[in-house]
Amino acid sequence: MKNCNDHPKVLVIHGPNLNMLGKREPDVYGKTTLDEINKNLENQGKSLGLAVETFQSNHEGAIVDKIQDAGELQSGLIINPAAYTHTSIAIRDAILLLDIPVIEIHLSNIYKREPFRHKSMIADVAAGQISGFGTYGYKMALDAITEMIKPAN
């Protein structure tokens, strides 16, 4: 387990357009901003004994680079690939390089939306997927990954 000051590290990656949360389609994605989500994750991480790092990019290559680095630095990965969920073989292939638990998350229920959103390129290479719970899904994901990276007793 990779540690930062004796705390396991978890990386949370937010994909394209998530920097516009709070402004973009609030009826679908809610009014909470990405900064608020990140702050909540950092606070929850502290209470769980985790160091949480967050990263957002609108650029597929930057996300791939961050995933590749995660294997050396992180104990777990939570990723909301956003629109890249449905298109990015590059992100999927980068996740395949990892030997850490990965949880895919979506604010909206992608299976209740347009048909093109029903296919995830990530789902079969992630340990699990959380979809449709809004910002609460991030809390669920952090709780789940905490359980996954706990040392076995």
Comparing C-alpha atoms, which of 112, 116, 53, 109 is closest to residue 83? 116
pLDDT tens readout for residues 43-69: 999 999 999 999 999 999 999 999 999
Point out the catalytic residue in the list 14, 84, 106, 138. Answer: 106
d(CA 145, CA 91): 20
Cβ count near 116 (within 10 Å): 10
Provide the residue count of the chain.
153
Query: Is 29 an active-site residue?
Result: yes
- Quick one: pLDDT at residue 33? 95
CA distances from 55 to 65, 103, 109, 115 (A): 11, 15, 22, 28
- Quick one: pLDDT at residue 117? 76
What's the mean pLDDT when you consider all of the chain? 91
Query: Is 106 an active-site residue?
Result: yes
Spatial CB neighbours of 120, under 8 Å, sequence gap ≥ 6: 85, 86, 104, 110, 129
Determine which helix (DSSP H) or strand (DSSP E) holds 147, and give its type and residue range: helix 136-149
Report the predicted TM-score, pTM, of the whole model to 2 decimal places: 0.91
Q: What is the band of 130 on the pLDDT scale with cuts at 50, 70, 90?
A: very high
d(CA 10, CA 42): 10
Higher pLDDT among residues 23 and 97, named by residue: 97
Point out the catalytic residue in the list 29, 86, 111, 138. Answer: 29
CATH superfamily of 3-149: Dehydroquinase, class II (3.40.50.9100)
Higher pLDDT among residues 65 and 22, named by residue: 65
